[in-house]
Amino acid sequence: MTKQPEILNYKQTGTGEHLVLIHGLFGSLENLNMVAKPLSKTYCVTSVDVRNHGNSFHASSMKYSELAQDIINLLDHLNIETCLLLGHSMGGKIAMQVALAQPERIRKLLIADIAPVSYPPHHLKIITGLQAIDLSQVFKRKDADEQLAPFVDNLGIRQFLLRNLALNSHGEFAFKCSLSNISLCYPQIMQANELTANQVPYNGETLFIKGGNSDYILPGHREAILALFPNSKAKIIQGAGHWLHAEKTLAFNKIVIDFIKS
């Protein structure tokens, strides 16, 4: 018998054309709520937890081909033949890989603040800090915040990371995400998007949305972007950093809706 694939945890709201949202590293489907909520008035929005994140299954490999297949398995499970696809950061790389693998299913592609290139490892201190938290000494979220502060000085980033903490069935704080697997797979997560055998560039309409204060998308990435996504354009949100959808929600959502409707 063929083994059934594990299905990602997801949340679906609204009715209309399908729009699938994919969060970034250390995130969960709730991270894109500020996008999902207004768009669910017009679209059927499916927000997902990537493997090793949120309430999805844990696995010891995170190649982009595998992360993309997780999304494709979910589309099959939900009988979604075609959809609009939006991903932020690592989720953007997953979305790009889905479009390269099954271009006929993606009507339009939206990528928030990431390019299809390899990045230097820049989360190592975060991973070390999260792994250093002594959960036996965490009785409220502030206890974890104090332990993480020496590793991550930005309060907003600490608050984002510590959303991964939740009370378990014993009433103790535990990480929902699999820190061990994310740490193990981190070199894979930093890899570039690539065409695999029999794949061609995605010719569908693609929009890259960049935070004006972020250095995740640079002029030097243009060649790599156009090689894989020749029918792409870019929008910059001034005054926004890497978490552009949270920092400039109204501007971000307007860009998304305008592009989908254009």
Tell me how far apart the alpha carbons of residues 68 and 245 are, in angstroms, rounded to a whole number: 22
What is the residue type of 210? Answer: K
Please identify which of the residues 89, 178, 214, 232 carries the catalytic annotation: 89
DSSP letters for 47-111: EEPPTTSTTSPP-S---HHHHHHHHHHHHHHTT--SEEEEEETHHHHHHHHHHHH-GGGEEEEEE
Residue reference for tokens 């595998």: 66
Active site residue 242: yes
Tokens 């354009």: give the residue. Answer: 233
Which residue is it, tokens 């995170």?
62
Catalytic residue among 18, 23, 53, 242: 242
CA distance 114 to 189: 12
The question of whether 169 is a catalytic residue gets the answer: no
**155 vs 145: CA distance, rounded Å:** 8
Q: What DSSP assignment string belongs to 126-173?
A: HHHHHHH--GGG-SSHHHHHHHHTTT---HHHHHHHGGGEEE-TTS-E
Confirm if 163 and 176 have CB atoms less than 8 A apart: no
Helix (H/G/I), strand (E/B), else coil: 209: strand
Identify any residues that bridge with 165 across adjacent strands, giving them in sequence order.
Answer: 175
Please give the positions annotated as active site: 89, 242
